[in-house]
Structure 1
Amino acid sequence: MIRHKCSVYQLSVCCVAREVRCLENTTFYFAFCLVSLYFLQEMLSNKEFFFLYTSVFLCLLIISNHLLYIIWTSDLNIDSSFDLETFSLNQSTTPAKNKISRMFNLTPMLNNSERFHEELGEYVIFLIITKPPFRLQHRFVCCLESLVALNPETSIVILTVGPYEKFGLKGNEAFDELMQNSTNLYLSSVDVSEVIRDTVLEKFVGSNIQNGVLRKPAHLSDFLRMCLLWKLGGAYIDLDLLIIKNLSPILKLKNFLTCDDDAHLNNAFFGFEKHSPFLMKFMETARRKFDKNDYPSVVKSFNIAFEEAFDMTIEEAVKRRHINGLIHVLDHFVVSPARHWEYKLLFQKNNTGFYEHVINVTYGYHTWNSNSGRDIQDVNSTAPFFVAARKFCPRSIELSGGRI
């Protein structure tokens, strides 16, 4: 499992949310803090016993920090008491009465793809969240609502690295309501060590997690999405894609890649069959070319792997659309009509021309949240993203408080 230290801010949020277990566990921590402050005061005011009080203070500081670490990591332990034989998902066409039936631990099913697809259906789209605390921004919930609503025949599985109880359902009314009222949205926890187990990335990812090389949550997500599709097959999509059409025509391709411009692949939306040899090539190249200091390192490896495997440029592959029917390469208009350097087009007010131009040729808007995340506007904005959002995620807009 991945371990994270809990900040004082996260601890206070946990307590404000009245999570009883958190309050019980942190009582000792705050007691240590008070005692530490006492000895700090004595240390500063009593020169005769300065070194004694200093030693006691430092010891208490170390103990309190370790206790804080234990509090957080204990909350990230996933309950593995999961009976695969009795596991059953609600696949009815009416909203589930009890949303717990769609909240489960994926770990025991990682090596049973047949049972997984028997329960969730042929077409499954995964989303992954690796950064605690697991709470969704309003814009992400909006994108999720559009994905769920326009793809009712497809199972949408949000995967959290850690217990889904930490996901923050109570803190986001829009997401809570979406879980209650949809029948194809699932929330699942998973053990990272089991996702990477028996893959070409097992030793690489495992050792880099232990030595702190995989510090960026995005890098961990990049590797997990490949391992997940290697084991189960299906598609992966980023949380910052606003979907405006049904994705079935793309999902039926089974093995597909999308671009963020005419010459570069992107891993924000892609799909592979279980044990795809093409995916194996991408995984091996990602391991070989990984650079911890380069944010899009894994994305770049996709391009390198493809050109090495097929001896052609991405631009040529996009023109062909597919390689002998085995793997499909879709142009950037599919989900990235505004390329990464053009993301502001989505948030420019009165830019109705762009919206009208792409609405008939795209399946969605990649909002490039790493760039646009701070561009929060009124939900009645005339910018293309907000025009589409009011149409395709109306309930999230309504519950967002007026800005998204």
Structure 2
Amino acid sequence: MRRRLFVSWYLALLVVSLIVFFVRRRRNAWTELYDITDMTLKEDGPAFDAKFGTKVAFFMETSGEGYLRPREVCAIESLAKTNPDMQAVLVFTYPVQNLNLRKNPTLAAVSRKMKNLHIVTMNSTKVLLNSPIFRQKLNILQQSKFPTVFLSDFLRVLLVYTFGGIYFDTDFIIFKDLSPLLEKNNFVTKPKGQPLVNSCVFSFERKHPFAEKLMKTVGERFNPKNYASAPAAFKVAVEDFFKMDLEQAIEKSPFEGVTVMDYIEFSPIFYYDFRQIFNESFVSLADEIVRSSYASHMWNYMGWSLKLDLNSKAPYAILARRFCPITVHNIEGGF
């Protein structure tokens, strides 16, 4: 009886030990691949620079799902590919549910091959509660119709203000070396055909006064019913800073070290025409926007329902094959 009991305990202990071993092994492989760092925004400048350098592009995923669609991975790969001396920092907010190899095959492939990609996690609630500007907006944000959108709006301006760098939404494709633009350091851009200022791409030096003004205006002008609350707030901040309307500010730029760029550098596609990039009839559009622009906003939130054959001559497919080949090669399912 005692012997049987001893064998049972021994087998149970062996099973538990094996489970712990394989869990740790998997966790270690996962951490090594993704270079996971927990970002609090309390890091000082030298500590941040030591890990990520001084040329940084931020991307963000705020749904909590811990998953990027291939089109979103394409944005990050295109930055890392065309700007090898820049560090791409991809931020996932807590709770991260599925950040693992099985759920992110395209991201896993890109992260293995692009050594200038860093993936970090962030406790967004803790970060916003530590912000005098945004802590009072947290409850409103969580109850709003677009909580993940507004969370991203808040965190992106906090990130760029705190550490400096350029921010991109994950629905861009970057075509060129951004160094000539980043020499200007501090800029915002206007979308094509809209009287707003883009919140999907902007760049500032660390703790720049205008970045602080943007951050405060986004908080003060936050409208939980307006999907474009941040772009509207950006416009207010620009016009207040320049003391003139948006079009005059573009002509006046640079003003006190801040540039307002017209649409051509980053937004050559009018949102109303976004279907053209899925249409083979507009095959020449791909070369046109690569010649004229540094990158292009691809309007993914409007085009998720549109299926794309990556072997087609549609502009989006042409650009993906050219600027995010690792993503295209490792897609499981549709693009």
With the length of structure 2 as denominator, give the TM-score of the two structures.
0.84
Query: Aligned residue for 1:134?
Result: 66
Q: Is the 8 A contact 1:378 1:402 kept in 2?
A: no
Unaligned runs of 5+ in 1: 1-19, 22-96
Query: Aligned residue for 2:55?
Result: 123
Identity percentage of aligned residues: 27
1:275 positional shift: 2.0
* Alignment of 1:355 onto 2:286: yes
Q: Is the 8 A contact 1:133 1:166 kept in 2?
A: yes
1:119 positional shift: 2.4
Query: Aligned residue for 1:226?
Result: 157
Count the aligned residue pairs.
308
AA aligned to 2:172 is L
Q: Is the 8 A contact 1:377 1:403 kept in 2?
A: yes
1:216 positional shift: 2.0
Q: Is the 8 A contact 1:321 1:328 kept in 2?
A: yes
* Structure 2 SS opposite 1:291: coil
Query: Aligned residue for 1:297?
Result: 229
* Structure 1 SS opposite 2:89: strand
Change (3 A) 1:215 1:134: same
User: Of the candidates 165, 169, 177, which is equivalent to residue 238 of structure 1?
Assistant: 169
User: Of the candidates 39, 47, 60, which is equivalent to residue 106 of structure 1?
Assistant: 39
AA aligned to 1:186 is H
> Which deviations, in whole Å up to 9, do the C-alpha atoms of 1:72-101 show, x marking residues without a partner?
xxxxxxxxxxxxxxxxxxxxxxxxx98357
User: Of the candidates 251, 257, 270, which is equivalent to residue 202 of structure 2?
Assistant: 270
User: RMSD of the TM alignment (CA)?
Assistant: 2.5
Unaligned runs of 5+ in 2: 1-18, 21-29
Equivalent residues in 2 for 1:1-20 (5 A)? none
Deviating 4+ runs (over 4 angstroms): none
* Structure 1 SS opposite 2:102: helix
Query: Aligned residue for 2:212?
Result: 280
* Structure 1 SS opposite 2:227: coil
AA aligned to 2:180 is P
1:362 positional shift: 0.6
* Structure 1 SS opposite 2:191: strand
* Structure 1 SS opposite 2:293: coil
Moved more, 394-403 or 116-125: 394-403
> Which deviations, in whole Å up to 9, do the C-alpha atoms of 1:165-196 show, x marking residues without a partner?
73243222221111112211011011224433
With the length of structure 1 as denominator, give the TM-score of the two structures.
0.70
* Structure 1 SS opposite 2:280: coil
Q: Is the 8 A contact 1:245 1:364 kept in 2?
A: yes
Q: Is the 8 A contact 2:33 2:111 kept in 1?
A: no
Q: Is the 8 A contact 2:277 2:314 kept in 1?
A: yes
* Structure 1 SS opposite 2:264: coil
Q: Is the 8 A contact 2:77 2:114 kept in 1?
A: no
Q: Is the 8 A contact 1:379 1:402 kept in 2?
A: no
Change (3 A) 1:277 1:161: same
Whole-Å separation in 2 of the counterparts to 1:295 and 1:163: 23
* Structure 1 SS opposite 2:308: coil
Q: Is the 8 A contact 2:59 2:167 kept in 1?
A: yes
* Structure 1 SS opposite 2:190: strand
